[in-house]
């Protein structure tokens, strides 16, 4: 079983001074990358710039300290922007803090219950759908600042934001738009010129200087927000039973998103440095980090794939790098935060455009539509549309429900019940279990069930009884991997019908897992252990004995 032990405690046994230097360098570089992103994502989430840094500092430090990955970098990410903005707008900061803390508690419980490996059961189509949907909502949400519009209303929903953009188009600010275009051009072109200095830093410096020197009529962060330098205090939210009930769906959504994104980031990190993360310890660390972030007034945090990759590329190999990144950001918060007021809002919008583009993974989205079955395409499109038009809670809930229903339909379609009344062309002649090589006794009917026995296919099992008028009924279950409560009840009904019609029921080759279910349900006792045979040969011999006794 996977150890619940932070990676930091393991790697320190062989830690060297040389690696310490590399971790410090990587931590500083990642902090430079994280600084503008943390501010931009905070603004996209409807909170103040410093709250993004609170998250990167406190959650980032704790998640690196306690985490199950060697190089995971945590902080605010685009995945949370939409849901955080919605909570902040409808429930206020107290509601957001409480939801973040609740999500942290859920994550810790998930880790303690060893749910780390269960996250992989969330379909790829759902994660791709809501990720693309979030990207679209972020892009639409930044149109206002990119074009310098003045909204008459303060819409929350994405569709309402589109309407407000159209209604406010007469307030279009050409100077703001040109600054946004310049920032976007720098973000796209700079990485082709220099791969060391982050393009977001260059875009911020160039546009801030231009707006300040030329005195352009462009809103900056300082025009819209009061910048607070220094460390935060503890923020204890007002708690009520009604508020907990109202925020529980949002808290679960935040927890699931944090789990998915952080564990996906861990997998990417493992591939980059040849390591192996501890998924359950990572969930516990994510939970602790989110609780701490909430208590200091931050927003939800999770593993950030881009920042984690930058850490790996710059030599970070232990959690020390992530802790250094948090400490550097803390120094910036204390000493340099007032300068954040000079950053133009169109530049923030441009940075978020690039974030949205990178997270959209549109090539994967198109690939699924082109190459996948219709059922998967339906799940993808429904999740995407609901994310854009409503919110993540609805999108993930409906997406999972639809995926489960379609999966159950597939399983019902592949579950088959066949009577041995002919030789199947698909069976190979040299198969020793081929019914063509067996002699079925007189007044005996044999049925073989292929596939899982569950409620979606229960109606097929009753066909066995409808076609039976013999003395013995054999049900062969060598190809049944699992059985659920509905199927067990159906088998009990089959036994009752057989008993009423004086038909002996025999089971052949029941696998270990289904057998345990049959024993627990009491069906083995009802049918009789003597009528559970290990293979079809023994079952046919048993049938022959019964038929002879009835003569």
Lowest mean pLDDT among 79-93, 210-224, 313-327, 443-457: 443-457
Average of pLDDT values for 249-275?
A: 89
In a domain, 496, yes or no: yes
CA gap 370, 367 in Å, rounded: 5
Contact (CB, 8 A) for 48 and 145? no
- pLDDT at position 421: 42
Confidence (pTM): 0.76
Domain span at residue 461 reads 416-550
Q: What are 93-150's pLDDT values in tens digits?
A: 999 999 999 999 999 999 999 998 777 677 888 888 988 998 999 999 999 999 999 9
- pLDDT at position 416: 66
Task: Tell me the pairing of strands 532-533 and 504-508.
Answer: parallel
In a domain, 399, yes or no: no
In a domain, 400, yes or no: no
Percent of the chain with pLDDT over 90: 60
In a domain, 463, yes or no: yes
| Residue labelled with tokens 């990190």 | 269
- Report the candidate in 153, 160, 161, 138 with the shortest Cα–Cα distance to residue 82: 138
Average of pLDDT values for 239-252?
A: 93
- Higher pLDDT among residues 188 and 361, named by residue: 188
**Are residues 56 and 190 both part of a single domain?**
yes
**Count of domains observed in the chain:** 2
- pLDDT at position 462: 67
Residue 430 has pLDDT above 60, yes or no: no
How large is the C-alpha radius of gyration of the chain?
30
**Are residues 357 and 223 both part of a single domain?**
yes
- pLDDT at position 459: 63
Supply the CATH number for residue 466's domain.
Answer: 3.30.750.24
HSE, CB side, 13 Å, CA atoms: give it for residue 60.
33
In a domain, 128, yes or no: yes
Domain-terminating residue out of 306, 341, 368: 368
**Are residues 471 and 351 both part of a single domain?**
no
**Are residues 150 and 292 both part of a single domain?**
yes
Residue 62 has pLDDT above 70, yes or no: yes
Average of pLDDT values for 25-51?
A: 94
- Report the candidate in 272, 260, 364, 254 with the shortest Cα–Cα distance to residue 309: 272
Domain-terminating residue out of 368, 400, 428: 368
**Are residues 47 and 179 both part of a single domain?**
yes
- 418: confidence class by pLDDT, cuts 50, 70, 90: low
Domain-terminating residue out of 337, 368, 399: 368
Lowest mean pLDDT among 179-183, 428-432, 474-478: 428-432
- 465: confidence class by pLDDT, cuts 50, 70, 90: low
In a domain, 391, yes or no: no
**Are residues 308 and 424 both part of a single domain?**
no
- 500: confidence class by pLDDT, cuts 50, 70, 90: confident
Q: What are 309-333's pLDDT values in tens digits?
A: 899 989 999 999 999 999 999 999 9
Q: What are 79-90's pLDDT values in tens digits?
A: 899 899 999 999
In a domain, 409, yes or no: no
**Are residues 164 and 299 both part of a single domain?**
yes
Residue 422 has pLDDT above 70, yes or no: no
Residue 434 has pLDDT above 50, yes or no: yes
In a domain, 161, yes or no: yes
C-alpha 138: how far from chain center? 18
HEC assignment per residue over 94-126 = HHHHHHHHHHHHHHHHHHHCCCHHHHHHCCHHH
Considering only the C-alpha atoms of the chain, give the largest distance between any 2 of them, rounded to a whole number of Å: 108
Lowest mean pLDDT among 251-260, 300-309, 492-501: 492-501
Percent of the chain with pLDDT over 70: 92
**Are residues 360 and 421 both part of a single domain?**
no
**Are residues 434 and 351 both part of a single domain?**
no
Average of pLDDT values for 340-359?
A: 93
**Are residues 305 and 440 both part of a single domain?**
no
DSSP 8-state code for residue 421: S
**Are residues 340 and 432 both part of a single domain?**
no
**Are residues 29 and 143 both part of a single domain?**
yes
């Amino acid at each position: 079983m996977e150890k619940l032990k932070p990676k930091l405690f393991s790697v320190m046994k062989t830690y060297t001074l040389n690696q310490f230097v590399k971790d410090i360098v990587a931590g500083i570089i990642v902090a430079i990358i994280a600084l503008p992103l943390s501010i931009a994502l905070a603004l996209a989430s409807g909170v103040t710039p410093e709250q993004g840094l609170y998250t990167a500092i406190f959650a980032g430090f704790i998640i690196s300290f306690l985490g199950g990955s060697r190089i995971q970098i945590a902080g605010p990410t685009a995945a949370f922007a939409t849901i955080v903005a919605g909570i902040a707008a409808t429930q206020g900061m107290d509601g957001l803090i409480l939801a973040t803390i609740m999500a942290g508690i859920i994550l810790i419980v998930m880790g303690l219950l060893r749910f780390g490996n269960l996250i992989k059961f969330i379909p790829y189509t759902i994660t791709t759908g809501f990720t693309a949907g979030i990207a679209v909502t972020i892009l639409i949400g930044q149109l206002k600042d990119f074009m310098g519009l003045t909204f008459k209303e303060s819409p929350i929903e994405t569709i309402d934001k589109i309407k407000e953009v159209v209604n406010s188009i007469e307030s279009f600010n050409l100077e703001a738009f040109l600054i946004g275009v310049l920032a976007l051009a720098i973000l796209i072109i700079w990485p082709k010129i220099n791969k060391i200095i982050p393009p977001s830093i260059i875009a911020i410096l160039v546009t801030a200087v231009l707006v300040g020197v030329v005195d352009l009529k462009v809103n900056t962060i300082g025009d819209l927000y009061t910048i607070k330098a220094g460390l935060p205090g503890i923020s204890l939210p007002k708690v009520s039973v009604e508020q907990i009930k109202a925020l529980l769906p949002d808290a679960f959504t935040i927890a699931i998103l944090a789990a998915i994104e952080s564990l996906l980031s861990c997998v990417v990190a493992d591939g980059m440095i040849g390591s192996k993360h501890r998924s359950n310890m990572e969930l516990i660390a994510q939970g602790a980090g989110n609780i701490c972030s909430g208590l200091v007034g931050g927003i939800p945090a999770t593993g950030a794939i881009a920042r984690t990759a930058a850490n790996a590329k710059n030599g970070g190999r232990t959690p020390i790098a992530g802790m250094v990144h948090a400490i550097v950001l803390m120094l910036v918060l204390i000493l340099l935060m007032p300068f954040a007021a000079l950053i133009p809002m169109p530049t923030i919008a441009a940075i978020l455009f690039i974030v949205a583009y990178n997270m959209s993974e549109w090539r994967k989205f198109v690939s699924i539509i082109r190459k996948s079955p219709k059922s998967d395409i339906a799940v993808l499109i429904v999740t995407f549309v609901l994310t854009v038009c409503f919110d993540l809670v609805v999108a993930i809930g409906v997406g999972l429900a639809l995926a489960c229903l379609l999966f159950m339909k597939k399983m019902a379609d592949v579950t088959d019940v066949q009577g041995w009344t002919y030789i199947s062309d698909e069976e190979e002649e040299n198969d020793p279990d081929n019914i063509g090589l067996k002699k079925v006794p007189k007044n005996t009917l044999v049925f073989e069930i292929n596939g899982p026995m569950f409620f979606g296919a229960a109606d097929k099992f009753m066909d066995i009884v409808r076609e039976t008028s013999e003395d013995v009924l054999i049900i062969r279950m060598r190809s049944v991997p699992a059985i659920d409560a509905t199927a067990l009840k159906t088998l009990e009904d089959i036994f009752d019908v057989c008993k009423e019609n004086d038909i002996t029921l025999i089971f052949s080759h029941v696998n270990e897992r289904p057998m345990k279910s049959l024993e627990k349900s009491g069906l083995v006792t009802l049918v009789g252990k003597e009528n559970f045979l290990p293979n079809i040969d023994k079952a046919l011999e048993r049938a022959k004995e019964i038929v002879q006794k009835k003569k």
